[in-house]
């Protein structure tokens, strides 16, 4: 690109577009047009300046970040890499479900707004793209974080993917081999967190499953089942353990049932209803509850009159479902705060034992649990 390029610069061609944008921005950064720590123009502004697509701009910014020239901060933009001092650290964000699962956006906000000491940056790269490429994208981000020499990575293990445990183990091993510290967010890549030797911050999922099941029993449910997707995460495993403990405590003749599978499969759900005759369902999360509710309604099941339902996460749409969903609300920003605290402590004490921190949650009662049915 010519040295006299200015704000009206245009680039043409396809395969070289992102490289030309990269070189122009790099030249301007080195010339001091953008100082260390200064924010670059937005992607929209760069698209207009270079008369090119957002994909091209994102690729150029990704490469600048890969080479340690800039950092990209969730919700803030792209910044010229500042000179590092002893109080400033850079952390990677490896969350395959970012943008797909609502809880991770506020968790990231909590990480960025940590009130403790130091001024730390959070790098999330170009992110995880299409569903079928989550594994490849996660491995690519790991390599990016290694090149950037981040001090640590906040990792939400991959779930609902065949062979996910092996993938998570490979990613963890890769980061640990480069002496990059890891804190798991929300869930563990093994059923027992401390077995991995890696810290975890989330809610007490065993207690959550117990509380939901016990509450349905208190509302009069006698045949409570559990429904979850196949290859569920460790969070679901722990919630199921809580469910099983609560069923034993209720001392019903019915001993419960756990359904793993596609809750949108009407034929399978019809078979489930015929065989188990449930009057209440604890769902692995709100997404499962929302899909199952639609299936049940299509089958003519009245909620909560015939079947009561509960979920976990309190996603934004939970209150707007055909029958507003009773659920558990996680304090996601607090999860972010505690995760950053744990990461900084891990850096100071790299040889300490792995710990699991549980953040509080709130029970949100809505119509789906049938609490109003008991009001006379």
Task: Name which of 51-60, 74-83, 177-186, 308-317 the model is least confident about.
Answer: 74-83
Residues 366 and 237 in one domain: yes
Looking at the 3D structure of the chain, how many domains does it have? Answer: 3
Whether 248 and 369 share a structural domain: yes
Domain co-membership, 176 together with 253 = no
* Model confidence band, residue 3 (pLDDT cutoffs 50, 70, 90): very low
Residue 119 in domain: yes
Print the domain residue range for 26. Answer: 17-80
The pLDDT value given to residue 160? 62
pLDDT in tens, 175-219: 988 889 999 998 876 654 444 678 999 999 999 999 999 999 999
pLDDT digits (tens, 9 = 90+) for 67-121: 778 888 877 889 888 655 446 788 998 887 666 677 888 898 888 888 766 667 8
Residues 120 and 45 reside in one and the same domain: no
The answer to whether position 165 is within a domain reads yes
Q: What percent of the chain has pLDDT over 90?
A: 46
Same domain, 195 and 238: no
For the stretch 229-246, pLDDT in tens is: 886 677 898 999 999 999
152 lies in a domain?
yes
Instruction: Pick the last residue of a domain from 80, 100, 131.
Output: 80
Token pair for 323: 């029958």
Looking at the structure, tell me whether residues 219 and 325 fall in a common domain.
yes
| Residue 226 β-bridge partners | 258, 282
Q: What pLDDT shows up at residue 303?
A: 97
Same domain membership, residue 167 and residue 63? no
Q: Are residues 199 and 225 in the same domain?
A: no
**Do 231 and 340 fall within a single domain?**
no
CATH number of the domain where residue 213 is located: 3.40.50.2300
Give the residue from 226, 157, 227 showing the smallest Cα distance to 193: 157
Q: Within a domain: residue 3?
A: no
Q: What pLDDT score was predicted for residue 100?
A: 64
Mean pLDDT of 138-147: 86
Decide which of 80, 102, 131 is a domain's last residue: 80
- Same domain membership, residue 246 and residue 134: no
Does 214 map to a domain?
yes
Looking at the structure, do residues 199 and 210 belong to the same domain, yes or no?
no
Average of pLDDT values for 284-307?
97
- Assign residue 59 the CATH number of its domain: 1.10.10.10
123 vs 135: CA distance, rounded Å: 19
**In this structure, is residue 227 part of a structural domain?**
yes
Omega before residue 304 within 30° of 0, cis: yes
**Does residue 94 lie within any of the structural domains?**
yes
Mean pLDDT, the chain, as a whole number? 84
Are 223 and 370 found together in one domain? Answer: yes
Contact between 147 and 65 (Cβ < 8 Å): no
Q: Is residue 324 part of a domain?
A: yes
């Amino acid at each position: 690109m010519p040295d006299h390029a200015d704000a009206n610069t245009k680039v043409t061609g396809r395969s070289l577009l992102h490289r030309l944008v990269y070189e122009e921005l790099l030249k301007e950064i080195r010339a001091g047009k953008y100082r260390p720590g200064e924010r670059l123009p937005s992607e929209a502004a760069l698209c207009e300046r270079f008369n090119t697509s957002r994909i091209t701009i994102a690729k150029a910014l990704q490469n600048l970040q890969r080479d340690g020239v800039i950092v990209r901060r969730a919700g803030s933009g792209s910044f010229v890499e500042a000179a590092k001092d002893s109080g400033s650290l850079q952390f990677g964000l490896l969350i395959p479900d970012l943008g797909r699962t609502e809880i991770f956006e506020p968790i990231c906000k909590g990480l960025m707004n940590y009130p403790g000491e130091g001024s730390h940056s959070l790098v999330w790269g170009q992110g995880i793209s299409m569903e079928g490429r989550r594994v490849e994208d996660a491995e690519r981000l790991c390599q990016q974080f290694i090149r950037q020499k981040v001090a640590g990575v906040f990792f939400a293990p991959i779930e609902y993917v065949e062979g996910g445990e092996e993938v998570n183990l490979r990613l963890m091993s890769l980061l640990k081999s480069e002496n990059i510290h890891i804190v798991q967010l929300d869930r563990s890549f093994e059923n027992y967190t401390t077995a991995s030797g890696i810290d975890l911050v989330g809610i007490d999922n065993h207690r959550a499953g117990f509380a939901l099941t016990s509450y349905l029993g208190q509302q009069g449910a006698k045949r409570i089942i559990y429904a979850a997707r196949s290859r569920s995460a460790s969070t679901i495993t722990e919630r199921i353990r809580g469910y099983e403990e609560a069923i034993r405590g209720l001392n019903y003749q019915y001993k419960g049932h756990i359904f793993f599978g596609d809750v949108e499969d009407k034929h399978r759900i019809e078979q489930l209803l015929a065989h188990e005759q449930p009057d209440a369902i604890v769902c692995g999360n709100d997404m499962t509850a929302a899909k199952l509710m639609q299936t049940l309604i299509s089958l003519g099941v009245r909620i909560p009159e015939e079947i009561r339902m509960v979920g976990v996460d309190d996603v934004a749409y939970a209150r707007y479902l055909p029958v507003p969903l009773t659920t558990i609300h996680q304090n996601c920003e607090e999860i972010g705060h505690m995760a950053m605290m744990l990461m900084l402590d891990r850096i100071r004490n790299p040889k300490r034992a792995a710990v699991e921190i549980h953040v509080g949650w709130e029970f949100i009662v809505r119509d789906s649990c049938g609490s109003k049915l008991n009001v006379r």
